[in-house]
Amino acid sequence: MSREPRRYTESGEGASPEAAFMHALIRTERTALPSEEQLAKIEDRLGPILTRSQANGRASSGMPLRMAPLVAVAAVVALTAGTFAVRSRPEHGPQSQVSAVGSSNGTAEDPRPTKPLEQPTFEPSRPVTTTRTVESLPPASATPRPSAVASAVRPTCTDEVTLLERADAALRSGDGAGALTLTNEHAVRCATGAFVQERERIAIEALGTLGRFEEMRGRARGFEDRYPASPHIRHIRRIVDDYSK
């Protein structure tokens, strides 16, 4: 029988459960082996333990002698795993803390309440008042005033027909001066009357009786110019012809 210790990295049939467990554990941690310096420290620490374990194993019947190597290997694996865990632990520096704070600030909501917008206020519009100076007023002469003749005629020209009948009667009685006076009164009082043509016929004939032939002819020509279609034109022409012979 060979006295060479059995390698736990080799698997085979009939291996005990403890050996199979150690084999799987060693194979898993093979990539994380300690350095030479760490192995030396582990050997210094485990040397006395292994020596005492072998001595106690021979004397004590509580633990089989073949379990001592398993305990030693388990201790080595535990130390190796702890070293690997310490090496592989990520370092948390100020940069990671700053990034964490930045991300939290980016997603945090602003606790300050928002101030409601003030509604614009509009003052009511005031009516625009214009001030007129004395210079801007129209002159007194520009204000239209009714003529003195019109103001005198309109309220007093209520007896136009009677006035002309009196003038014609005076003419027929041989009172040319009285007839001419009444026609002049009619021209003042009834300047826009309805019987202006009748008034002019009586006045032209009265001038003829008074011997004022130039005035008679001039007034007759003015009548024809103003009223070319008047029915009195023939009678006026005959009067002018009679006093011109």
User: What's the number of domains the chain is made of?
Assistant: 2
pLDDT at residue 65 in the model: 44
Residue 171: other Cβ atoms inside 10 A: 21
Asked if the structure places residue 6 within a domain, the reply is no
Residue 99 has pLDDT above 50, yes or no: no
User: What is the pLDDT confidence band of residue 207, given thresholds at 50, 70 and 90?
Assistant: very high
Asked if the structure places residue 108 within a domain, the reply is no
Asked if the structure places residue 97 within a domain, the reply is no
Q: Give the chain's radius of gyration (CA, Å).
A: 75
Residue 103 has pLDDT above 80, yes or no: no
Domain final residue pick, 88, 122, 140: 88
Mean pLDDT to the nearest integer, 26-40: 68
Per-residue pLDDT of 177-204, as tens digits, reads 999 999 999 999 998 899 999 999 999 9
In this structure, the answer to whether residues 158 and 237 fall within a common structural domain is: yes
Cβ(166)–Cβ(182) under 8 Å? yes
Mean pLDDT to the nearest integer, 71-100: 50
**Closest listed residue to residue 85, CA positions, set 49, 158, 34:** 34
Asked if the structure places residue 235 within a domain, the reply is yes
Residue 93 has pLDDT above 60, yes or no: no
Residue 61 or residue 171, greater confidence:
171
Cβ(184)–Cβ(219) under 8 Å? no
pLDDT at residue 156 in the model: 65
Residue 12 has pLDDT above 90, yes or no: no
Mean pLDDT to the nearest integer, 207-215: 95
Task: Specify the CATH number for the domain of residue 231.
Answer: 1.25.40
pLDDT at residue 169 in the model: 96
Instruction: Kindly report which listed range (16-20, 34-38, 100-104) carries the lowest average pLDDT score.
Output: 100-104
Mean pLDDT to the nearest integer, 226-241: 94
Percentage of the chain beyond pLDDT 90 is 33
CA distance 8 to 11: 7
Asked if the structure places residue 106 within a domain, the reply is no
Residue 40 or residue 54, greater confidence:
40
In this structure, the answer to whether residues 78 and 165 fall within a common structural domain is: no
Asked if the structure places residue 128 within a domain, the reply is no
Residue 226 has pLDDT above 60, yes or no: yes
Mean pLDDT to the nearest integer, 20-37: 69
In this structure, the answer to whether residues 80 and 152 fall within a common structural domain is: no
Domain final residue pick, 46, 65, 88: 88
Domain that holds residue 198: 148-244
Residue 47 or residue 210, greater confidence:
210
Q: Which residues of 95-124 are buried (b: 16+ CB within 10 A; e: fewer)?
A: eeeeeeeeeeeeeeeeeeeeeeeeeeeeee
Asked if the structure places residue 217 within a domain, the reply is yes
pLDDT at residue 3 in the model: 56
In this structure, the answer to whether residues 162 and 234 fall within a common structural domain is: yes
Mean pLDDT to the nearest integer, 46-71: 55
Per-residue pLDDT of 136-159, as tens digits, reads 666 555 444 545 444 444 556 889
Asked if the structure places residue 121 within a domain, the reply is no
